């Protein structure tokens, strides 16, 4: 009989998922693009690059990059021009969030450039962007005290949040710094376990929504406990994938659970011998008359 837990890559489930940390492997996030025939190349440092067949989308998986931006994705209306939009994830970001994005990107690419290069509605960009915020609100994220030029939401535990910047932004800074239209972050308040993701102004809203849907998904993520950073282990709720076996019963436990025997007969329950006869025990009456 197959063990359903055998295919789970981890020994614990992590709640909430935004405290799971990275899996330290990029394969699951690259797979949705590679199955479409995107070109895979690498460099001498071990960085990996994936390019769409039309050369209008490029992904970099950069473990040896210049900063902590492990994942960088850019899309181009003109393959020789500046990026139309850009998305990034740092090295602490749960890989499942990146996989959710690349899965949506693969679907958009198959649907055509009108989908993977779709800009937010110019007539109401903020209203269009609200579609990506709805999953967070529906799952209990709270809108914070308004700040000039920023709409902010946080989880009830304060361990994850989203900032949506309003107004005009510098396109170059959006692609090279954290000053982007969309900024998600999470993790313990201090330490190296914090993650972030950014998306620039013209990122198609369905792609941003794929990220917010994954980040706010209530289902846990599997992890190997010993590979998790200490800050995450101490902050998140961990539940074993395989429940621990029940403890070996002690002799006292055995005695408590053993079936009780029927009580033995005692002298109180056995009729005692008596010289007094009962009517049922009386001898037959003697015949009257002389004996012969």
Could you list the beta-strand ranges (E) of the chain.
12-15, 39-42, 48-51, 57-61, 71-75, 85-89, 142-143, 150-154, 160-165, 182-186, 195-199, 221-223, 237-240
- Decide if 30 contacts 61 (C-beta within 8 A): yes
- Give CA–CA dist 151/283, Å, rounded: 109
- Give CA–CA dist 204/215, Å, rounded: 17
pLDDT in tens, the chain (292 residues): 444 455 788 999 999 999 999 999 999 999 999 999 999 999 999 999 999 999 999 999 999 999 999 999 999 999 999 999 999 999 999 999 999 999 999 999 999 999 999 998 888 878 889 999 999 999 999 999 888 999 999 999 999 999 999 999 999 999 999 999 999 999 998 878 999 999 999 999 999 999 999 999 999 999 999 999 999 999 999 999 987 666 667 666 666 666 666 555 555 554 544 445 555 444 444 444 444 4
Non-local (6+) Cβ contacts of 67 within 8 A are none
- Give CA–CA dist 221/219, Å, rounded: 7
């Amino acid at each position: 009989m197959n063990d359903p837990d055998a295919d789970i890559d981890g020994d614990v489930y992590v709640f909430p998922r935004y405290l799971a940390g990275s899996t330290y492997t990029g394969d699951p996030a690259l797979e949705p693009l590679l199955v479409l025939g995107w070109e895979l190349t690498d460099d001498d440092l071990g960085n990996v690059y994936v390019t769409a067949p039309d050369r209008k989308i490029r992904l970099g998986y950069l473990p040896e990059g210049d900063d902590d931006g492990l994942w960088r994705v850019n899309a181009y209306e003109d393959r020789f021009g500046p990026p139309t939009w850009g998305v990034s994830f740092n090295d602490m970001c749960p890989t499942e969030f990146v996989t959710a994005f690349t899965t949506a990107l693969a679907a958009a690419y198959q649907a055509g450039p009108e989908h993977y290069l779709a800009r937010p509605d110019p007539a109401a960009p903020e209203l269009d962007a609200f579609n990506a915020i709805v999953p967070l609100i529906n799952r209990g994220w709270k809108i914070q005290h308004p700040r000039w030029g920023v709409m902010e939401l946080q989880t009830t535990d304060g361990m994850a949040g989203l900032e949506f910047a309003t107004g005009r932004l510098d396109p170059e800074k959006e692609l090279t710094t954290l000053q982007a239209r969309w900024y998600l972050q999470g993790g313990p308040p201090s330490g190296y376990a914090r993650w972030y993701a950014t998306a620039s102004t013209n990122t198609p809203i369905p792609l941003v929504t794929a990220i917010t849907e994954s980040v706010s998904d209530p289902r846990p993520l599997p992890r190997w406990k010993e590979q998790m950073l200490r800050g995450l282990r101490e902050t998140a709720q961990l539940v074993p994938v395989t429940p621990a076996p029940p403890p070996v019963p002690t002799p006292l436990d055995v005695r408590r659970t053993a079936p009780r025997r029927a009580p033995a007969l005692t002298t109180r329950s056995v009729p005692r011998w008596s010289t007094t006869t009962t009517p049922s025990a009386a001898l037959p009456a003697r015949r009257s008359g002389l004996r012969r």
